[in-house]
Structure 1
Amino acid sequence: MQDRTKGDGTGRDGTKRDRPDRSEAGSASRRLLLDVMLGKLARYLRMCGYDAAYALDHGVEADEALLALARDEGRRLVTRDRQLAERAPGGVRIDVRAVDDQLRELRAAGFELSLADDPARCGRCNGPVDPVEAGEPVPDYAPDPADTPCHRCRDCGQVFWKGSHWDDVRETLAGL
């Protein structure tokens, strides 16, 4: 991802930019909409605390529908499609396919990428999560909340905890 902006809303050549400058990206809203090519990236961003909606979770693929959804929900569009990124206010274009490289691009553009002490979003559906109290029932696949802190998604009911996947993501982010 190349940063070709002057910081005033236009590129060095005077055209409308398709990427945020570094200072803008770091302070930008944490409400994102990721297009159909970025599903795995959405999960990582959710684990980093971003409200990262994924287009296919909304049944949206067409450019006009993506733009409308981003506008209606106050989200920044993140896409691999150059023309679409140019059309979206504050649109962010990702140039690479591998999720590790996508994360590097976002970090280089000023996005904060670190795991919080406590999860805020569900990796599966992007819903907000709450801690599961000791004694609350959990599915058979989950550890006992009295022994291991667990969280439950308010939207889909998924229960999760900081296990090996959390450690793998932390390691990936540390290696960027």
Structure 2
Amino acid sequence: MNADRSPSSHSTRPTLFLDVMLGKLTTYLRMCGYDAASARDRGIEDDDEILKQSQEEDRTLITRDEQLSERAENGVLLTSLDPTDQLRELDARGFDLSLSDPARCSSCNGTLVPERGKSPDHAPDGKRIWRCEDCGKRFWKGSHWESVERTLSDLKR
């Protein structure tokens, strides 16, 4: 990883491209504020196409595929099958895995903006709501957020 794109700096976080094997990890990284594109979301399974997309978009490729990782100019190889262990691997590499206010849509990777006006009927009263500019989904810090927060805090143990 290039030194000027250190994952521990919020202002210079790398943009990421995750291969199809890393769906749950993608969600975690988006909840940590990373711009994390997914080959799965784009319907791309071919290694050559994954590599091409990550390079064209100047994204760090995160993969479990050793051969694909070796071909990438800017790649991170993960060895674990378990998403929590994958997070540990990224944490050990200096990725900032902390939650702040929601910034990226966990579904489509779009940018979240504070919701203005009336909250949807299914949203808890008094919760701050964010809306995805791309897909329109709404988010708030609920039980899922708390579960992810616990998982991330347990990484250091």
Q: Same fold (TM over 0.5)?
A: yes
Amino acid at match of 1:157: G
- Whole-Å separation in 2 of the counterparts to 1:21 and 1:41: 22
Matched, 1:142 2:123: yes
- Whole-Å separation in 1 of the counterparts to 2:140 and 2:119: 14
* Range with greater deviation from structure 2 (55-64 or 25-34): 25-34
* Contact kept? 2:18, 2:26, Cα under 8 Å: yes
Amino acid at match of 1:169: V
Deviation, structure 1 residue 136: 3.1
Matched, 1:38 2:19: no
Give TM-score, length-normalised by structure 1: 0.81
- Whole-Å separation in 2 of the counterparts to 1:77 and 1:36: 11
Matched, 1:67 2:51: yes
Of 141, 151, 156, 1:172 maps to 151
Deviation, structure 1 residue 137: 5.0
Deviation, structure 1 residue 71: 1.1
Deviation, structure 1 residue 89: 1.0
* Contact kept? 2:7, 2:14, Cα under 8 Å: no
Of 130, 149, 157, 2:113 maps to 130
- Whole-Å separation in 2 of the counterparts to 1:69 and 1:90: 12
Aligned length: 152
Of 97, 102, 106, 2:86 maps to 102
The alignment partner of 2:109 has SS state of coil
- Whole-Å separation in 2 of the counterparts to 1:89 and 1:25: 16
- Whole-Å separation in 2 of the counterparts to 1:156 and 1:21: 32
- Whole-Å separation in 2 of the counterparts to 1:148 and 1:79: 36
- Whole-Å separation in 1 of the counterparts to 2:26 and 2:77: 14
Q: Determine what percentage of the aligned residue pairs are the same residue.
A: 53
Amino acid at match of 2:65: D
- Whole-Å separation in 1 of the counterparts to 2:95 and 2:141: 23
* Aligned counterpart, 1:15: none
- Whole-Å separation in 1 of the counterparts to 2:21 and 2:77: 11
* Aligned counterpart, 2:141: 162
Amino acid at match of 2:149: R
- Whole-Å separation in 2 of the counterparts to 1:137 and 1:47: 21
Amino acid at match of 1:35: D
Give TM-score, length-normalised by structure 2: 0.90
Alpha-carbon deviations, 1:7-37, whole Å to 9, x = none?
Answer: xxxxxxxxxxxxx489945356431000000
Change (3 A) 1:165 1:156: same
Matched, 1:121 2:104: yes
Deviation, structure 1 residue 157: 0.5
* Contact kept? 1:131, 1:151, Cα under 8 Å: yes
* Aligned counterpart, 1:90: 74
CA RMSD of aligned residues (A): 1.8
